Structure 1
Amino acid sequence: MDGILSDEPDSPPLPPEAEAFLRHLAEQKRYSARTVRNYRQALERFTAWLRGQPGSLHPLMVSSRHVRRYLMELQTVYERRTSNLHLSALRSFYRYQLRLGKIEASPLAGISGPKLEKKLPKFLTEKQIALLLAGPKRLLENEAIEPFTALRDRLVMELLYGGGFRVSELSDLNYGTFDEQSGVARIRGKGGKERLCPVGEVALECLKMFRAQFARHSGPQDPVLITEQGRRLSVRRIQLMLKRYLDLADLPHDLTPHKIRHSYATHLLDNGADLRLVQELLGHASLSTTQIYTHVSVARLKDMHRRAHPRA
């Protein structure tokens, strides 16, 4: 079939309009490098598909009929969630072209992606979090790790849980991010949106100890989380480190750093925090994104009621 999607398509040069759009995302919208890369991949795949169509279509010349056909083929290659992400990238691209006056109407108008199954986010209980956070101390007492690694790893997890950071935000933390007197970090999250995150007394004390004992440089632009060589700790290193402590605490390996963020939000709501406050702390643009954590809390309440009430 002409234009059928392959698993590994060639990456043709993008048209100037697409390159300008990606620069707009990076420079004006301040999207993360990862998001811009994902949008680029979506546009590259769509461009490759268009060039396989009769007449080798230009992206600004497509109709909704082309988009619907593309979406059908996209779903033969990707899961629904990934198909929706590609569709979202295209929707954003055409919205930008519409705003510039390059097209009269978006070819994605009225087109919706495949429906997703709503899944409640996985999270750790407060008891499981305590087991996880105790891991570095256990290894240090058994002389399985050095004091630097024990305190650094504890700091990573205390900040993840105490501040509810995304793992990329955690990796990017500099000493200038923190006001140590107030115990608040100023975070620049998705879309360049800034928010204030209290990290809690335990995490802040851990930060002060690590800075005093092991920070080679602690100026405003110096990274908080570092390797033994003094380089910034990468997202990948944080992910691998967490797996080590999950294994030590006999917890599932699929509990990624983002699941710690889920735990942070769930525990705040379980203990009476206001939903809009949690939205601000997480940096969610929409309250509906945060509301999934209320579903988690309600599910736990119903489960407790079912197990404990004689009429349940």
Structure 2
Amino acid sequence: MSSNASSSAPVDALPAEIAAGWWAPFETYLAQERRYSRYTLRNYRQALEDFVRWRLGEGRSDAALENVQPREVRDFVIEAQRRFDRRTLHNHVSGLRSLYKFWVRRGRVVANPFVGVPLPRLEKRLPKFLTEEQMRKLLLGPQRLLENETVDSFTAWRDRLAMELIYGGGLRVSELAGLNYGQIDFDGGVARVLGKGRKERLCPLGTVALAVLKKFRSEFAQDTGAEAPVVVTAKHERITPRAVQLLLKRYLALAELPLDLTPHKLRHSYATHLLNAGADLRLVQELLGHASLSTTQIYTHVSVARLKEIYAKAHPRA
């Protein structure tokens, strides 16, 4: 987060009245009702801190957030382009737009000043994903370490379970960490997942992921009650998203894959491989839990890009 928004003395955190009156209720709503991740909450707070810091630097009252006008927002966006890349700026404005939308609904603000604000065009970036062969190498990692006696059996099977559920079921890392045994239909091979916005969806797990899950449950789980977490630490406590990110890096290094790939990239791979195999776009939208089909359509671009790549390498007239 940049701290050079102005030449004035920087404000390192939100003023107390804004933190309590504007941010705290919004944060509770995002965390408890929308089920947003701590990462998103942190980014939204940083966006508000930056906006408040900018307003102070411009000599505006920090207590008058109710009176922010679209012209002021446009000035903020113009200035912020010197400090942030385009994607970060889009994310900040999205967070601030959500904040004002929250307070418009509760009658504190008459209109949302962040609606319709002109933003610089984003460069189109295709999501990173692993090929099927790369995924195979990645998923073999825990077994390789177990055979080399680098990790114990619990760790190897727990790590494989985490990766198999993300790739086999298309789960978000937060959904994986929150998954309980009561959400799984072992006979049907389906998990009932509570995703963003508290929206529930059914995720087929696949025969491999289900087999790994059954083995882990029978040989390593201490508690398989309805409220018991599926993926746990060595102390049999619920695993955190951060711990999943760290364990993945271990196997990326082992498979000689880029270390900047995140658990979410396994979800990208899940979607891409489904579409490459002919799955219907709307089905994939449902499986991923996307509210909008346009969010899912980016994976069709990935598939087309892959087809063009294959064509370019294989066709004599390419």
* TM-score between both structures, scaled by the size of structure 1: 0.92
Partner residue of 2:296 out of 290, 295, 310:
290
Superposition deviation, residue 217 in structure 1: 1.0
Superposition deviation, residue 194 in structure 1: 1.0
Does residue 9 of the first structure (1) align with residue 15 of the second (2)? no
Superposition deviation, residue 23 in structure 1: 3.5
Sequence identity (%):
57
| Aligned residue in 1 for 2:44 | 39
CA contact (8 A) 1:32 1:191 kept: no
| Aligned residue in 1 for 2:244 | 238
Q: Distance in 1 between matches of 2:107 and 2:180?
A: 41
Deviations 1:23-74 (A, max 9, x none): 4434444444443343233223322332333342511112222111212232
Q: Distance in 1 between matches of 2:241 and 2:28?
A: 24
| Aligned residue in 2 for 1:70 | 76
CA contact (8 A) 1:31 1:192 kept: no
CA contact (8 A) 1:14 1:44 kept: no
CA contact (8 A) 2:170 2:267 kept: yes
CA contact (8 A) 2:90 2:119 kept: yes
Q: Distance in 1 between matches of 2:159 and 2:227?
A: 21
| Aligned residue in 2 for 1:275 | 281
Q: Distance in 2 between matches of 1:184 and 1:86?
A: 36
Q: Are residues 68 and 241 of structure 1, via their aligned partners in 2, closer, same or farther at CA, if it must alter by over 3 Å? A: same
Does residue 134 of the first structure (1) align with residue 140 of the second (2)? yes
| Aligned residue in 2 for 1:219 | 225
| Aligned residue in 2 for 1:50 | 55
CA contact (8 A) 1:179 1:185 kept: yes
Deviations 1:152-201 (A, max 9, x none): 11111111110111111111111112111111111111111111101111
Q: Distance in 2 between matches of 1:152 and 1:103?
A: 48
Q: Are residues 99 and 149 of structure 1, via their aligned partners in 2, closer, same or farther at CA, if it must alter by over 3 Å? A: closer
Q: Distance in 1 between matches of 2:266 and 2:5?
A: 45
CA contact (8 A) 1:4 1:49 kept: no
List gaps (5 residues or longer) in structure 2: none
Secondary structure of the residue aligned to 1:291 is helix
| Aligned residue in 1 for 2:307 | 301
With 129-138 and 4-13 compared, the bigger mean Cα shift is at 4-13
Secondary structure of the residue aligned to 2:112 is coil
Q: Distance in 1 between matches of 2:47 and 2:7?
A: 15
Partner residue of 2:99 out of 93, 106, 128:
93
List gaps (5 residues or longer) in structure 1: none
| Aligned residue in 1 for 2:167 | 161
Q: Distance in 2 between matches of 1:242 and 1:51?
A: 42
Q: Are residues 28 and 231 of structure 1, via their aligned partners in 2, closer, same or farther at CA, if it must alter by over 3 Å? A: closer
CA contact (8 A) 1:5 1:49 kept: no
Q: Are residues 295 and 8 of structure 1, via their aligned partners in 2, closer, same or farther at CA, if it must alter by over 3 Å? A: farther
Q: Distance in 2 between matches of 1:208 and 1:286?
A: 34
Corresponding letter in the other structure for 2:262: T
Corresponding letter in the other structure for 2:133: K
* TM-score between both structures, scaled by the size of structure 2: 0.90
| Aligned residue in 2 for 1:253 | 259
